[in-house]
């Protein structure tokens, strides 16, 4: 998956976790990337924007 142009941001829920942070790149049209901020060169999970929106909506309810 091509993440060229991805703008990564830390999750607002990650602050205060001794560096255990998740970063999200949701500025691309066809893919949302999720990675560990401690391993920026490591693996990236990718989701369709629709799947990511459904996950966020579910998480907000729970």
What DSSP designation does 36 have?
E
The proportion of the chain whose per-residue pLDDT surpasses 70, expressed as a percent, equals 89
Q: Which two tokens stand for residue 40?
A: 């920026």
For 13, 18, 21, 54, the CA distances from 61, given in Å and listed in that order, are 15, 26, 21, 11
Mean pLDDT of 36-51: 95
Q: What is the pLDDT of residue 8?
A: 96
Q: Which residues have C-beta within 8 Å of that of residue 37, sequence separation ≥ 6?
A: 10, 14, 19, 21, 22, 23
pTM summary value: 0.84
The proportion of the chain whose per-residue pLDDT surpasses 90, expressed as a percent, equals 71
pLDDT digits (tens, 9 = 90+) for 13-32: 766 666 678 999 999 999 99
State the residue for tokens 């500025």.
27
What DSSP designation does 45 have?
E
Q: What is the pLDDT of residue 39?
A: 92
């Amino acid at each position: 998956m091509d993440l060229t142009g991805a703008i990564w941001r830390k999750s607002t829920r990650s602050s205060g976790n001794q560096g255990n942070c998740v970063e999200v790149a949701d500025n691309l049209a066809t893919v949302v990337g999720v990675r560990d901020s401690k391993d920026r060169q490591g693996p990236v999970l990718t989701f369709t924007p629709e799947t990511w929106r459904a996950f966020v909506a579910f998480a907000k309810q729970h």
